[in-house]
Amino acid sequence: MLHTTTILTSGRRCPSKMKQSAPPHDYLANKKPSSHLADTIDFILTTTGHSEDILVRPFSFGRNQTLKATFIYVEGLCNEDAIEKMISRAKFFDEKEPVFESAQQYLEEVGHTETLNCFRPLIDKLFIGYAICVIDGFSTPIAVAIPFYKERPVSEPMTEKVVRGSREGFVENVRTNISLLRRRIGDEQLWVETKTIGTRTKTKIMIAYMNDIVDKSILRELHTRLDRIYTDSVLEDGNIEELIEDQVYTPFPTVYSTERPDTTAAHLLEGKIAILSDGSPMALIVPALFVQFFHNAEDHTQRADIGTLIRLLRFLCIFIAMLAPSFYIAITTFHQELIPTGLLGNLAAQQEGTPFPTFVETLMMEVTFEILREAGIRMPQPVGQAVSIVGAIVIGQAAVQAGIVSAAVVIVISITAIASFVFPTYSIGVPIRILRFGFMALAASFGLLGICIGFTAVLLHLSTLKSFGVPYLKGLSPFIWKDQTDTLFRAPKWLMNERPEATTKSNQTRQRTPKPSPKD
């Protein structure tokens, strides 16, 4: 045990040479602080393993310095300037009766305070930015909320670029992210609930929704799924997504993720629910529908005709990115009669100089491109771009000149790769890339019949998926006519009077703006 004199004169850090084994994790639930200052401090230091970042600052209240006290806090999590201010002003403290309540009221001037009767909440508060004030002679420490976090400033989203629109993206501080939503939705019906998940990480989760629009059954289901999570760590939003999604054995995402506050606000106003976790710059949106993964914030910042054309281009790129290599394999291997005679002669001449069948050529180039894609993502940005561009050009040209693959294969793979970059959401591009290899194998085995079989299987699989009980293809299947104003097409704003029925049936009226008319 540490002596009182050792603690009060040890300065800022505790001596590491006197470490003892920490008590069990659940032992703290019923352990109560002592009225002796030294015993309480010693227990806290022992429990935290005498860690170097646990700082101890002794001081005294009043001019006569008769009331001894100590601040315990974690370096880097608390505002040390505020602690210094409290300590420097402590000599002006007037010891009125009752003394403990007067001390708590004094500390309240700096930050919100809470009294703690046992060590479990005390330790929890210590590691979320509270300074613990232990007063000699009292068995109830006071936790003062003076958190201080160094965070990344709000900046442009990295994965969801737009030409016209907001340049703000979420950051790793969940409080900042909620404030970004509040700036866009200044309505009292935007309700925010808080949960803590992870017995050790104690990650703060915030659930945001429009109370008068959201489907209450979906909200209850989300709470049920979050409450049944029992894990020691939740380090980022991907952990939550895996634990609450409907279908595990599917490549398609059933939870939508975004780092844009404007996109999140738009989904909230359609009756969906946002889940934001501390430490992650992404928001999870539920329920998620298949078509929304191909929508972009820029669809609504451009005119309706431009937004519709861009959106249709994205849906076209789904088929190009998923089926282009398999169509090339099927036509050149089984259905040469579909190729014009002149082009067929050129393809045959190229194929004579290569040692591998078309399927093997295409597979080699696809794997090579996937390697280049991952290398470009993981490497530093300036180097990564050079590796992707130079690698693709050099390897493709060298492979053609060496006679390993034909020029036509390089063209097909290049078009496929470019089409795969059109998707506004990274998570939907991954299943398209996975399915591409399956379609290639089917095309090499059965030709166009194999592609038809595979495409039918994908449609059947999509029709069985649900996101929080909502059919994945809802709006398209089952077909909802009034939702078509913002599904495959983007109708003018003055036509989008109703909220999507696919996600909510409450408060359907969104606007009643008449069609613009020219002034006479």
Radius of gyration of the chain (CA): 31
> What does the pLDDT read at residue 29?
67
Q: Tell me, what's the pLDDT at 260?
A: 93
* Residues in Cβ contact with 370 at an 8 Å cutoff, skipping those fewer than 6 apart: 433
Question: Which tokens in the block code for residue 298?
Answer: 């820029």
H or E segment to which residue 204 belongs: strand 203-210
Q: Would you state the structure tokens that stand for residue 476, as one six-digit string?
A: 């398209």
- CA dihedral for 309, 310, 315, 320, sign (positive or negative): positive
Do residues 48 and 76 touch, judged by C-beta distance below 8 A? Answer: no
The C-alpha atoms of residue 241 and residue 254 are separated, in whole angstroms, by 9
How buried is residue 458: exposed, middle or buried, by Cβ count under 10 Å (0-12/13-18/19+)? middle
At residue 423, φ and ψ (nearest 5 deg) are: -65, 130
Q: Count the helix, strand and coil residues of the chain and give each as a percent rounded to the nearest 5.
A: 50, 15, 40
Do the beta carbons of residue 467 and residue 257 sit within 8 Å?
Answer: no
Name the DSSP class of 294: G
Cα 301-418-237 angle, rounded to 5 deg: 65
Look at residues 131, 115, 113 and name the one whose alpha carbon lies nearest to residue 44.
Answer: 131
The predicted structure's pLDDT at residue 271: 92
pLDDT in tens, 217-275: 999 999 999 999 998 888 888 899 999 998 888 999 999 999 999 999 999 999 999 99
Rounded to an integer, what is the distance from CA 24 to the centroid of its chain? 33
CA 47/CA 53 separation, integer angstroms: 13
Half-sphere exposure (Cβ direction) of 110: Cα atoms closer than 13 Å: 27
Stretches in the chain below the pLDDT threshold 70: 1-30, 95, 381-392, 519-520
Q: Is 507 exposed, middle or buried (0-12, 13-18, 19+ CB in 10 A)?
A: middle
DSSP state letters, 113-145: EEE-SSHHHHHHHHTTTEEEEEETT-S--EEEE
pTM above 0.75, yes or no: yes
Residue 275 corresponds to which amino acid?
A: I
Contacts of 21 (CB under 8 A, 6+ apart): none
Rounded Cα–Cα distance for residues 439 and 425 (Å): 22
* Three-state DSSP state, 463: helix
- Residue 137 φ/ψ region, left for φ over 0, alpha for ψ in the -120 to 50 degree band, beta for the rest: left
